Amino acid sequence: MGEDIIRLARRRWFNYADGIRLDMDVQRIRRDFPTVRDGRGIYLDSACQSLRPDSVIQAILEYYQEYPACGGRSVHSMATRVSVSMDETREALASFFGTRDPDCYIFTKNCTEGLNTAAYGIGLKKGDVVITTDTEHNSNHVPWLNLEGSVGIRRRMSKSGPDGVFDLEAFHKCMGHDVKVVSVQHASNVTGCTVPVRAVAEIAHDFGAKVIVDGAQAAPHMPVDLDRIGADIYCMSVHKMLGPSGMGVMYGKRDVLEELKPLTMGGGTVGLTTYTSVNQAPIPDRFEAGLHDYAGIIATKAALEYLKGVGMDEVRKWDHQLMERILGNLEDVKNLQVVGPTDAVSRGGVFSFNIGGLGAHDIAMMLDSMAGVMIRSGMHCAHPFYVSRGIDGSARASTYIYNSPEEIDVFTDTVRHIAETFGD
């Protein structure tokens, strides 16, 4: 049955290929990714973690094979090469995200660690107000919930519409001079909807509030100019943008980082300690306790170089074209329920959906077993969004630069078959 679906989708791809405008060489890009090149299924789970190109894998191997030493500690030749490579990655980050100071980029293990560092280090006191949206990932919800209980901060939520689209007017009404922090996602991992973070930052700063942005879903899929956005802290997961697993980055304005308390302290974070005192190391070292994932940091530069070569405008346009194809192919499936808006422009590269009569996990397993299509299922660490709307999670397909229109057709044809055969 799976082979029939794939043959049908392949015929459609050949019939439609002449009418599709390709803004980048997708077939060349696909050859750079081992699991794609080797035909190991159709990967539509990039909102969780992206695949990695050969250049990123090679950078990891090169570190372990040629200079597997510590950076920032020893002064021998291997260690010096690691230290220089770390500096080069920070410089690459500053260039990629449009800022001037490489030392304002802190290496973390993921976006979650960055958001927790910001939440617990920004120095909130009892009665301080924090604003988030009602569509946040747990990483930008649970820390504030915990601080509400432990410190006594107060929280306000900017309400979105039923489809999860951000409402700037509703956000503006939440603001007041008692607000100390505004912490919002740049793009949703459920609906794909983006938040106008530059406008949010301008409004928040007018009221004297600091702005923290969860950029996990935005940084991999669109141009991000941090100077223009104006956020005080911006966190991201490098493993969602072709980089190694367990790599993240927290960017902060220098004056904000100078006042931010580190989440973890120890080796590498201090200048000098005595039995009774400690002097903090300068930025960025004070936030990077212990030994690092040096291979991951070095390979982060390779990931940035790959994305720069493709062009982030092209990445965004390709997500849009694939999303248009998904929505167009599935628009007449009657028992399909889309979670979020039904126009491609609003969704980025994320398509969350349900099929009447089937659980999300059932849909995901059927797609994998029938056609080798790999998606995610569940509440996607955004539990309040689903609970507040009475939805028991969803299936989620998420695209990236290595996905082809042919793969999208296999996905949508299989979804259609599942809905028509097993759905209510």
pLDDT tens column, 150-207: 999 999 999 999 899 999 999 999 999 999 999 999 999 999 999 999 999 999 999 9
Same domain, 33 and 94: no
Whether the CB-CB separation of 289 and 267 falls below 8 Å is answered with yes
pLDDT at 313: 97
Same domain, 233 and 291: yes
Q: What's 6's domain CATH number?
A: 3.90.1150.10
Same domain, 137 and 280: yes
Same domain, 362 and 395: yes
Mean pLDDT, residues 71-99 taken together: 97
The residue segments making up the domain with residue 78 are 57-309
Mean pLDDT, residues 398-414 taken together: 98
- pLDDT above 60 (res 3): no
pLDDT at 19: 42
Same domain, 140 and 272: yes
pLDDT at 1: 52
Same domain, 111 and 254: yes
- pLDDT above 90 (res 21): no
Same domain, 354 and 380: yes
Same domain, 122 and 248: yes
- Give the integer Cα–Cα distance in Å for 325 and 336: 16
- Give the integer Cα–Cα distance in Å for 20 and 405: 9
* Tally: H helices and E strands in the chain: 16, 15
In this prediction the pTM is 0.94
Same domain, 330 and 252: no
Same domain, 222 and 346: no
Domain boundary among 291, 309, 327: 309
Using alpha carbons only, how large is the chain's radius of gyration in Å? 22
- Give the integer Cα–Cα distance in Å for 38 and 326: 24
pLDDT at 15: 37
Same domain, 94 and 83: yes
Domain boundary among 309, 332, 363: 309
As given in the structure block, the two tokens for residue 318 are 């390709």
Domain boundary among 288, 309, 330: 309
The active-site residue, picked from 48, 70, 174, 381, is 381
Same domain, 63 and 119: yes
Q: What's 157's domain CATH number?
A: 3.40.640.10
Mean pLDDT, residues 129-142 taken together: 97
pLDDT at 23: 58
Number of domains observed in the structure of the chain: 2
| Active site (annotated) includes residue 381 | yes
- pLDDT above 90 (res 340): yes
Longest dimension (CA), the chain: 75
Question: Does the bond joining 384 to the residue before it have cis omega, within 30 degrees of 0?
Answer: no
Q: pLDDT tens-digit profile of 351-385?
A: 999 999 999 999 999 999 999 999 999 999 999 99
The most confident of the ranges 22-26, 345-349, 396-400 is: 396-400
